[in-house]
Amino acid sequence: MSPLRALTPALLGTTMLLSGFACDGSTSRPTANTRPAVETAETPAPTPAPTPAPAAKPEPEPAPEPTPEVGGPSCDQRELVVGDRGPRRLCIDYSNHKGASEPRCFEGVALSEGPCPSEGVIATCVLEATGVELRHYEGAKVERARDTCAMIDGRFESP
């Protein structure tokens, strides 16, 4: 008898014994397909960084200097008195001037380098042909400004 034949019953019995444990129908999982358990250590939660002490409040920044208005020249006639009507409350702004004639003021008023002030404007009249803008200020009458603008073919605007 060959040695392999002599070992066959023993091998067959061992195989049956092992398969009985692996497939005994119990709730245990088959041993042939199980993976070894991997030990996992609980990873501790990261330690929060210490809360920094409240920073000192920075000094408030000084208010920015007002930006000068760009433009000009202009003819400020806000205080010019003509006749018995009181001050004109008008400034002629040549910032967008595109005419053949040079910007100028009436006698007694100097042509300034900068634009007309933007504070207190109650109405404007833009002369489309020349780009000149007449600005009427508080103290002037809106109705009169509208009439003057219509008479000189300007575009009237009131805030």
Per-residue model confidence as pLDDT tens digits over 95-117: 999 878 888 888 778 899 889 99
Residue 21 has pLDDT above 70, yes or no: no
- Residue 60 located in a structural domain: no
The pLDDT tens digits of the residues spanning 131-140 come to 999 999 999 9
Backbone angles phi, psi at 85, to 5 degrees: -85, -10
Indicate the residue type of 110: A
Is 81 within the bounds of a domain?
yes
Taking the CA atoms of 141, 142, 144 and 145 in sequence, report the sign of the dihedral they define: positive
* Residue 29 domain-assigned (yes or no): no
Region 47-62 average pLDDT:
70
The answer to whether residue 76 scores a pLDDT higher than 80 is yes
DSSP at 5? H
| Domain count across the chain | 1
Half-sphere exposure for 67 (CA within 13 Å, toward CB): 3
- Region 32-45: what's the mean pLDDT? 58
State whether the Cα torsion 138-143-147-150 is positive or negative.
Answer: positive
Looking at per-residue pLDDT, the higher value among 22 and 72 belongs to: 72
Look at residue 119 and tell me if it is in a domain.
yes
Q: Contact 124/157 with Cβ under 8 angstroms?
A: yes
Is there a cis peptide before residue 9, judged by omega within 30 degrees of 0?
Answer: no
For residue 5, being part of any structural domain is answered with no
Burial of 143 (0-12, 13-18, 19+ CB in 10 A): exposed
What pLDDT is attached to residue 64?
66
Q: Among 15-29, 59-73, 91-105, 140-154, which range has the highest average pLDDT?
A: 140-154
Domain carrying residue 131: 74-157
Query: How confident is the model at residue 106, as a pLDDT?
Result: 80
Does the residue 103 lie in any domain?
yes
Domain assignment of residue 54, yes or no: no
